[in-house]
Amino acid sequence: MLLGLAAAAPAPPGPWFGPIHGKTPTSLDGGQVLHTLALRALLRTDKPILLDVSEAPRRPKTATTALWMPLPHQDIPGSIWIPGAGLGAIPPTLALFLAQRLATLTHGHANAPIVVYCHPHCWMSWNAARRLVWLGYQRVYWDPDGIEGWEKAGLTLATVSPSEPSTK
Amino acid sequence: MKRLLVAAAALMLAAAIAPRAQATETAADRAARWTALHDALFPKQSLGDGSAILTLHAPTRAEDASLVPVSIDVAPDAHVKALWLIIDNNPSPMAAHLTFGPAGDPSLVGLRVRVDQYTNMHAVAEMPDGHLVAITRFIKAAGGCSAPAGASVAEAMRGIGDMKLHVLHLAARGGGADTLELLIRHPNFNGMQMDQVTRLYTPARYINAVDVRSGTTLVFHMVSDISLATDPAITFRMRPAGTDAISVVAHDTSNAIFSHQFDLAGQGS
């Protein structure tokens, strides 16, 4: 559906550092591509960990906006949302947090299924999925349809709070 | 699970994204959002129906969510004191608040704004007796998960504060209002753009106040926020106060002040 809109982008050897929104590859080295309906089936059979890496709105730190009231974030029910985990480069604290959360969620099993997603035409989920492959996970799925794909299929979303490294 | 390749990621830093969100908002969700915004922005004030005097123009489906042209028409005899433009679903919804001076003519205000996702927009007007009226319009715009790839900060900052004033319409001598468009060169960084060179988020820096005067008489004072697009453009009307001189003073959140003088006599139309 989405792939018909544009030709695929070639997969970079490392993370993608370019514009986050754009054509993405059609494959994931070391993992599998999974579209909405296949994800739904996998949820029934394998109960994968769902990892949403959509970005969160960033409140300006250098000035006070007139009114800061971001909408609650909604994604696929049961997901863990780690904003920023799909950027081309991530801070050490976030990289460590991501690794530790996954170690907890998978109980240290490298073959636990994990589905990574964000939005269509968005490199963040691709980057994060690759990051999990590099961490050694053996069943990494990338859902390029993301939140909007889930929604378009008539499935319900749930409001979620971000999981982030604690700021001391 | 032992192969934590944290180090590879650790050396690198953040890229940039704008928020993006759900499109299955129901009418009830939108109404609840507006109730929350109403309480935050206009506490304990009732908002009447503004459809008799206000019209909000915006594309139904915007081509570029980072640059959506919006204009508010106000019935010429309404003499509103102030106008607000509110983009409900933006994280910082209050886009602009204009108060009009003696040389102001509030019958038209045009702005270019950023829209993060499908949203209602509201125009709110303060009537001469102080009561508020509002209208709403739904627009479809979504920039995807990312702010447009920014230029380098140095490039974006080039010419900051430069201004142009375009004459769109000059009224006949002795009557009517002039229609003008003010362009201010300013990156209006919203804190969500990435510097393509350093790959760091560029700190927010945006125009937060603009005063336009005809001679020394106030045309309007605008308070604005991160929802205004890069290079703010403001279309407005004024009734010249017996002079061709127009002065503009703009402030940004880094306490920079940009001021320009224009001479309408030299502008032609």
Residue B210 placed within a domain: yes
Enter the tokens of residue A10. Answer: 């070639």
Residue B99 placed within a domain: yes
pLDDT tens, position by position, B127-155: 999 999 999 999 987 654 445 555 677 88
Q: Which residues of chain A have pLDDT under 70?
A: 1-7, 62, 167-168
Residue B23 placed within a domain: no
Reply yes or no on whether the pLDDT at B23 is more than 60.
Answer: no
Distance of residue A111 Cα from the nearest chain B Cα, in angstroms: 9
Q: Measured between beta carbons, which residues in chain B are less than 8 angstroms from residue A73?
A: 21
The total number of structural domains in chain A stands at 1
pLDDT at B6: 33
Residue B116 placed within a domain: yes
Contact A147, B18 (CB under 8 A): no
Residue A8 placed within a domain: no
Residue A38 placed within a domain: yes
Residue B63 placed within a domain: yes
Reply yes or no on whether the pLDDT at B60 is more than 60.
Answer: yes
Residue B245 placed within a domain: yes
Residue B35 placed within a domain: no
The total number of structural domains in chain B stands at 1
Residue A132 belongs to a domain with what CATH number?
Answer: 3.40.250.10
φ/ψ of B122, rounded to 5, equals -125, 140
Higher pLDDT, residue B155 or B80: B80
CB contact under 8 A, A55 and B24: no
Quote the domain boundaries for residue A116: 24-55+72-160
Percent of chain B with pLDDT over 70: 84
pLDDT tens, position by position, A40-54: 999 999 999 999 999
Residue B80 belongs to a domain with what CATH number?
Answer: 2.60.40.2470
Residue B138 placed within a domain: yes
- Lowest-pLDDT choice from B20-34, B100-114, B206-220, B251-265: B20-34
Distance of residue B119 Cα from the nearest chain A Cα, in angstroms: 11
Residue A2 placed within a domain: no
Question: Span B67-74, mean pLDDT?
Answer: 95
Other C-beta atoms within 10 Å of A112: how many? 19
Q: Measured between beta carbons, which residues in chain B are less than 8 angstroms from residue A30?
A: none
**What whole-number distance in Å separates Cα of residue B12 and Cα of residue B6?**
10
Quote the domain boundaries for residue B100: 50-266
Residue A128 placed within a domain: yes
